Amino acid sequence: MAKTTFTLAEAALLLSCHAETLRRAIKNGTLYAARLGREYRISRTDLQAFWTERGGAELFGSEELPVSVAETSLTRVPPQNIPKNIPTQLKLLD
């Protein structure tokens, strides 16, 4: 199932830009978004229209987008070459 709405963070990840850039575009009316509480939701068609208006190519293509872009792109991969004797958390002294 293709994702049809995106959060500001997910849209920024897709467009490789900062979320504040998209927030400014929403405020000046060049990007349409729905406000849900304190968050914005951007539809797939509005995001594609915004991107192509600025000279971008087809964002989504014919293949389906994963259900959660944030989950597939922002998952943390543990480093492989960290020695085991290095502390993982520092403790502040009183």
Strands (DSSP E) found in 34-87: 34-36, 39-43
3-state helix, strand, coil in the chain (%, to 5): 35, 10, 55
Residue 80 has pLDDT above 80, yes or no: no
The secondary structure element, H or E, covering residue 8 is: helix 8-15
Predicted confidence at residue 81, as pLDDT, reads: 59
Phi-psi region of 46 (alpha: psi -120 to 50; beta: other; left: phi over 0): alpha
Residue 89, pLDDT score: 58
Global pTM value: 0.61
pLDDT for 29-65, tens place per residue? 999 999 988 899 999 989 988 988 888 777 777 655 4
Q: Provide the 3-class DSSP secondary structure of residue 36.
A: strand
Cα torsion 58, 62, 67, 70: sign: negative
Mean pLDDT value of segment 5-9 = 92
Sketch the domain layout of the chain as residue ranges.
Answer: 5-60
Options 3.40.1350, 1.10.1660, 1.10.287, 2.40.128; which CATH number does 5-60 get?
Answer: 1.10.1660
